[in-house]
Structure 1
């Protein structure tokens, strides 16, 4: 399953990350967007949001940490699996990755690289947990992305602060297999 997800990501080098209804509709209208990261919602509307994505034949990955009403506990993963058609989850919480994998969901472990300590922990933590992919934020750091891609056994998505074609190309040429962005102008490059 992991290999299949990585192949899908490689075939979709730009991932639409949506933070509201307007972004959701724009992402669905954008040709070439096969994967949508859902960065908003609550327990009352997440099923509808995911259903809208799935109706269009897209892959829906829900950022579980950003869904209002859910907690950082395994039951939140159970809720997403049982009540939506989501293909996978994004989280910064390692324990949720393990449970999501047990349930057959795709997994994206998100890291914020804010200092050298965070950078040091990426390889150690991702090799223990083995998410399908890791997402590095901010993604507009080619030197850091290259360093992580050279040491990580887990494929990388670059996210955050990707604002134009140069950022996309720099991230991809530095070892990221894809980028994620809320910038709808980048979705259509």
Structure 2
């Protein structure tokens, strides 16, 4: 499973991130092998994941954004037991660590807003072993290069990516791939 996910990251320079049912329908037709699910609630997340899986894509649920789920281990259990999701995305290191124990693929998301947040990445990576990290906002090539050199974990970058030049810049800075809600970027 984790090998399949790593291969999908290598094969998909752009990951479709969906935040509505309309964007989900569009994402199901793009070439990205991975879909980041950034919306839903405890009632509809199993159906959303099922649509992604039916399209032959890997489903990553952003646990922090699912209405009705608390930032607790039981939320990870719910995703594992009640959906067919391949993994989770979260800003919560404890949830990422727990999800890894359950053999879910994990994306630890960081918001890099200042130098303190940047130094926190290195500290967190020593304690938590996510499969991938995601850094937001994108469009910081020098900072991204620095983050990529901190570890051997693939780095995804997202946020504010809306043009082909943004994608090229982030990949050139060392990102394994980018995530974007911009449908124009999905079909580059």
TM-score (norm 2): 0.97
The residue aligned with 2:115 is 116
Question: Which residue of 1 is the match for residue 57 of structure 2?
Answer: 58
Any runs of at least 4 consecutive aligned residues in structure 1 with deviations exceeding 4 A, and if so which? 1-4
Contact 1:149 1:175 in 2 (8 A): yes
Q: Is the 8 A contact 2:5 2:58 kept in 1?
A: no
Give distance in 2, aligned partners of 1:85 and 1:159: 24
Q: Secondary structure at the match of 2:95?
A: helix
Instruction: Tell me the secondary structure at the aligned position of residue 161 of structure 2.
Output: coil
- Measure, in 2, the Cα distance between the counterparts of 1:184 and 1:8: 19
2:123 and 2:82 map into 1 onto residues whose CA distance is 33
| 1:133 aligned partner | 132
Q: Retained in 2: the 8 A contact 1:127–1:153?
A: no
Question: Could you tell me which residue of structure 1 aligns to residue 81 of structure 2?
Answer: 82
On the 8 A contact 1:5/1:132 being kept in 2, the answer is no
How many pairs does the alignment contain? 188
CA RMSD of aligned residues (A): 1.0
Secondary structure of the corresponding residue to residue 61 of structure 1: strand
CA displacement, residues 67-123 of structure 1 (integer Å, 9 cap, x when unaligned): 000010000000000000000000000000111011110000000000000001111
| Secondary structure in 1 matching 2:107 | strand
Structure 2, unmatched stretches of 5+, are none
Q: CA deviation at 1:4?
A: 4.2
Q: Which is further off, 52-61 or 118-127?
A: 118-127
| Structure 2 Cα separation of the partners of residues 143 and 173 of structure 1 | 10
Query: Who is 1:9 aligned against?
Result: 9
Structure 1: gaps (5+ residues) = none
The 1-side partners of 2:132 and 2:141 are apart by 18
